[in-house]
Structure 1
Amino acid sequence: MELIDSVQAIFQVMTIVLLGYLLTRKGYFTMDKQKWLSKLNMVFFTPCLLFSNIASIISLEKLLAFWPIPAFYLVFAIISFSASQITSRLVGLNAPYRRFVLACVMFSNTNSLPIAIISSLAVSEAGNILFWDTDDTEVSVAARGISYTLFFAIFGNLIRWSYGYSLLQKHEPKAKASSLSETSPLLATFPFPSIAQSRAQSLTRSLKTNAYLFARKVDNFMSPPLYAAVLALIVGLSPLKGFLYDKDSFMYPSFTKAIETCGRASVPIILTCLGSQLACISESQHHSHAVRKPVFTAISVRLLLMPLFVIPIVIAFVLYGSRWSTLASDPVFIVMMIVLGCTPTAINLVQITQVNDFCEEEMLRMLFWSYGVICIPVCTFTVFTALSVVDKLL
C-alpha cells in the first residue's frame, strides 16, 4: 500500500508536467511564451508563494522547538556540497559544469513533491503508521508534515535564491572599474568634490557614493524570491505578523489572502512550463553529447548517492535524538526528513537557468530524467524505507 501511495503522490506532479507538454505540442505554448511566463513567475508568483509560506509558518517559538530542522538542512547541505564537488572533479567536469552539478545536488524539491507525498500518505491506509499518539488524526498528520516541510523549505529557499542563483550564472568577466571620472547612469549624478569644497561636504558625498556601491552589490546578490523570503522573515518574527495574519484584521482578507492566492499559482506554472520546455527540447534537432556527463553525474549524486547518507543519519536521530528533542519520536517528522533529503532536484532551478541563459538544456534534461524516469522508483523506495523505519523503530 505504501508503494501505491508514493507512486500516486509522484504522479500528481508528473500529470501537470504532461499537460504542459501536450499544450505545447498543440501549439498553445511556444518557447518565447513559456520563457516570458517563467520570468513572470520568478518575479511575481514565486515571491508571493515564498512570502505567504514563510511568514505564516515562522515564529520565534517554532525556531526554538523545530531546531532539528535547520540542523538537518545544514548536515544535508554539507554532505551534498562535498559529494558533488568530489564526484564532479573525479569525472573531470570543467568549472561551469561543476557549478551546475553543485546546484542540482544541493537544491532539492522542498515544496511540491514532499507536500504531495505527505498529503497522500496521511489519507491512506499507511497513515496509521504516522500517528504520534492515540489522539492523532489524519488531518493533524498532514498538517504536521506540511509544517515541517515548509519550515525546512525556508532555509532551502533562502540559500537557493542567493547562493544557488549565483551558481547558475555565466560569470562572464567584468570590466575593470576605472577611477571616479568614470561615468555610469547613477554615479554621474553625484557631484564629486572640488578642491574648494569643505572636508565635511567631501566626506558626505563619499559616504553616499560608497552606500550606493554597497547597495548595488547587495542587489546583484539578491533576487525577487530572496527579497520576498527576507521580508517574510521580518514579518514572521515581528508584530507585523498579527497585523497581516490575524483573521479578524482588515489586512488578512484584503491583502494577505490575495498574496496567498497568487502564490498558489507558482508551482502549477513551474510544472506546466517544465512540460512545455521538455516538449521544445524533444522537437529540437540539437542533441548535444556534452551534456550527458554533467546530467548523469548530478542525477547519480542527487538520487542515488544522497539516500545512502540521509537514511542512516535520520535513523541515528531516531535512536539517540530523543534526549534532545521530542521530534525524534514523531513518525511524521522522521518520514519527512528522509523524503526531504532524498527528493529530486528543485524544479524552479529551471527558471534561474532560463533567466541567466546558463545550462538551460542541461537543466531540462536533468529534470526530465529525474522526474520522468528515475523519480518514481527512487522516491517509491525512499517512501517505503521511511515508513519501514518508523514502523520498526517507533
Structure 2
Amino acid sequence: MGFLDLLVVALVPILKVLLVTGVGLFLGIEKINLLGPEARDYLNKIVFYVLSPCLLFSNLAETITYKSLVTLWFMPLNVLLTFLVGSALGWILAKLTKTPRHLQGIVIGCCSTGNLGNLLLIVFPDICDESNSPFSKLSTCSTDAEAYASLSMAVGAIFTWAYAYPLVSSYVIKNTEHSSIQSSEPSPDSCTEPLLSPSDSQISEDNSVVLELPLTNMKDGKKMSFKEKIAECIKCITSKIDLEKVFVPSTVASIAGLIIGIVSPFRKVLIADNAPLRVIDSSAALIGQAAIPSMTLIMGANLLKGLQRSEMSLVVILGVVAVRNICLPLLGIGVVQGAHHLGVVGSDALYRFVLMFQYAVPPAINVGKITT
C-alpha cells in the first residue's frame, strides 16, 4: 500500500469528525443560535445522563465477553498510564509556564484526560470499512474495532471521574480555601485543638519547637505497624473521594454493560438473538446512537467560545498541544512496542494500533464539565 492510500484512509475518519464539528460551530454562531449556551447546556445534560450511558451499556454488553476481556487486560492499564503520565506532564507544564492557580487544574485535566470515547468509535469502524485499509483483510475488523473502542470509552469514563475529577477539582478547592483564608478571619469554632499535642513536640536548646509525627495509634496508644499505616493512609484518601461524583451515569452504565456481557446467563437473557429481553438492549442501542453526533456538535459549538477569547496564555495552549500531540504519542509508541516485545499484547495489529492511538487523542470534552 502506497503512502497516498494510507493518507486517504487516515484522513477520511478525521474529516468526518471535522465536518460534524464544523456544523456544531456553525449552529453555535450568534446569528444562528441553535446551539447557544442554553441549548448546549440542555443537550450536554441529555448526553451526560441519557445518551452516553445508553451507548456504553449497549456497546459493552454486545461486544465484550469474558474471553475477550481476558485478552484485553492490558488496555485498562494502558489507559491508566495515559492518565498518570499526562497529569505529571501537565503539572510540569503548569509549573514551567507559571500558570495561575485557578487554571492549573484545567491544564492538568487537558493533559491527562484524552477523548477515549466518541473519537475512537468514529475513527476505527471507518478505517475497517475503507477498502484500502491495512486492517480490511481481517474478517472481524469492524467487530473487533467496536469492542476495542467500547472498552476504551468505558475505561476512560471510569478513570475520568475516579481519577481526573478528584485531581482537577482539588486545585479548585485549594484555590477557594486559600482565597477564603486571606479574605476572612478564622471563626471561634474553628481550630479548637492544636494539630499536635504538647507531647508530640519538643523544645530544643535554642527554644525552637521540634515537631515529630506520631507513630502510635491515637485510640489505644500502641505503635502502628507498617500495614496499619498503609490502611490509615488508604482510609484517609477514600474518605476524601466523593462517590457520588465517581459513580456518574456513564460509570454505572459501563459496569452494568460489562457485567451483562461477561456473565453468560445475563447475556442469554438480554443480548442473544432469541433473548426474551433483547428489546431492552436494542432500545438502549437506539438511544445511544445519538450520543456521538451530539457530543461532536457540542464540541464544535464550544470551539466558538474558545475562538473568541481565552484566559489561557498562548504558551500554555501550545504546551498542552505539545504534550498531547508529541510527548504522549512518543511515549505510547515506546510502551506498546515494549509490551509487544514482552509478549503482553499479542500480535493483533489493530489492537496495538488502538493502544497507541489512546496516547494521541485530543483532550476529552468532559474536562470542561469537570472544571465547572
TM over 0.5: yes
From 282, 289, 302, the equivalent of 1:257 is 282
User: After alignment, is 14-23 or 221-230 more displaced?
Assistant: 221-230
2:127 to 103, 121, 126: 121
SS in 2 for 1:20: helix
1:34 paired residue number: 40
Task: Give SS of 1:342's match.
Answer: coil
Alignment pair present for 1:337 and 2:355: yes
In structure 1, distance between residues paired with 2:288 and 2:168 = 24
Per-residue deviation at 1:219? 2.0
**1:61 corresponding residue in structure 2:** 67
Query: Are the aligned partners of 1:20 and 1:272 in contact in 2 as well (CA < 8 Å)?
Result: yes
Specify the SS of the correspondent of 2:98: coil
Q: Are 1:17 and 2:42 counterparts?
A: no
Quote how far apart the aligned CAs of 1:94 are: 4.0
Query: 1:5 aligned to 2:26?
Result: no
| Residue from 276, 293, 296 that aligns with 2:318 | 296
Pairing of 1:1-394 with structure 2 (within 5 A): 1-25=5-29, 26-127=32-133, 129-130=134-135, 136-137=137-138, 139-169=139-169, 170-171=172-173, 172-173=176-177, 217-238=242-263, 239-253=265-279, 255-282=280-307, 287-318=309-340, 320-322=341-343, 324=344, 327-350=345-368, 352-353=369-370, 357=372
TM-score by length of 1: 0.68
Corresponding position of 2:196: none
Aligned partners of 1:50 and 1:229 also within 8 Å: yes
What is the rounded CA distance, in whole Å, between the counterparts of 2:260 and 2:244 in structure 1? 20
Q: TM-score, normalised by structure 2?
A: 0.72
1:162–1:226 Cα contact (<8 Å) kept: no
| Contact 2:82-2:358 within 8 A present in 1 as well | no
- CA change 1:291–1:65 in 2 (3 A) is same
Cα separation, 2, equivalents of 1:92 and 1:48: 41
Q: Which letter maps to 1:117?
A: V
What is the CA–CA distance in structure 1 between the aligned matches of 2:131 and 2:271, rounded to whole Å? 34
Q: Which secondary structure state, in structure 2, belongs to the residue aligned with residue 130 of structure 1?
A: coil
Name the CA shift for 1:58/1:31 in 2 (closer, same or farther; >3 Å): same
What amino acid is the match of 1:338? Answer: M
In structure 1, C-alpha distance between the alignment counterparts of 2:33 and 2:269, rounded to whole Å:
46
Q: Which amino acid aligns with 1:329?
A: S
Distance 1:217 1:100, change over 3 A: closer
Q: Give 2:291's aligned amino acid.
A: S
- Once the two structures are superposed, residues 126-184 of structure 1 have per-residue CA deviations (whole angstroms, 9 ceiling, x without a partner) of 42x336xxxx54x52222222222223322111113333334544355999x99xxxxx
User: Is the CA contact 1:115–1:146 (under 8 Å) kept in the aligned structure 2?
Assistant: yes
Kept in 1: contact 2:54–2:288 (CA 8 A) = yes
Aligned residues: 305
Shift of 1:259: 0.8
Distance 1:126 1:311 in 2: 23
Q: Residue 196 of structure 1 aligns with which residue?
A: none
Distance 1:49 1:143 in 2: 16
Larger Rg: 2
Measure how far apart 1:277 and its partner are.
Answer: 2.4
Letter in 2 for 1:268: P
Q: Unaligned regions of 5+ residues in structure 2, if any?
A: 181-185, 191-238
1:209-250 alpha-carbon deviations (Å, 9 max, x no partner): xxxxx9x95224432222222333343343323322122123
Q: Is the 8 A contact 1:321 1:328 kept in 2?
A: no
Q: Are the aligned partners of 2:324 and 2:360 in contact in 1 as well (CA < 8 Å)? A: yes
Q: Is the 8 A contact 1:149 1:340 kept in 2?
A: no
Percent identity of paired positions between Structure 1 and Structure 2: 19
What is the identity, as a one-letter code, of the residue corresponding to 1:312? Answer: G
In structure 2, what residue type is equivalent to 1:63?
L
Q: In 2 relative to 1, CA 151–221 (structure 1 residues): closer, same or farther, beyond 3 Å?
A: closer
Per-residue Cα deviation, 1:45-76 (whole angstroms, up to 9, x for no partner): 11112222233333332232222222322333
* Native 8 Å contact 2:324 2:359 kept in 1: no
Deviation at 1:273, TM superposition (A): 1.6
Query: How far apart are the structure 1 equivalents of 2:120 and 2:63?
Result: 16
Matches of 1:152 and 1:144, distance apart in 2:
12
Alpha-carbon shift at residue 10 of structure 1 (Å):
0.6
Shift of 1:321: 3.1
Q: What SS does the aligned partner of 2:43 have?
A: helix
Tell me how far 1:11 sits from its aligned partner: 0.9
Using the TM superposition, name which of 163-172 and 218-227 deviates more.
163-172
Tell me: CA distance 1:161–1:57, structure 2 relative to 1, closer, same or farther (3 Å): farther
For residue 260 of structure 1, report the CA deviation from its aligned partner.
1.0
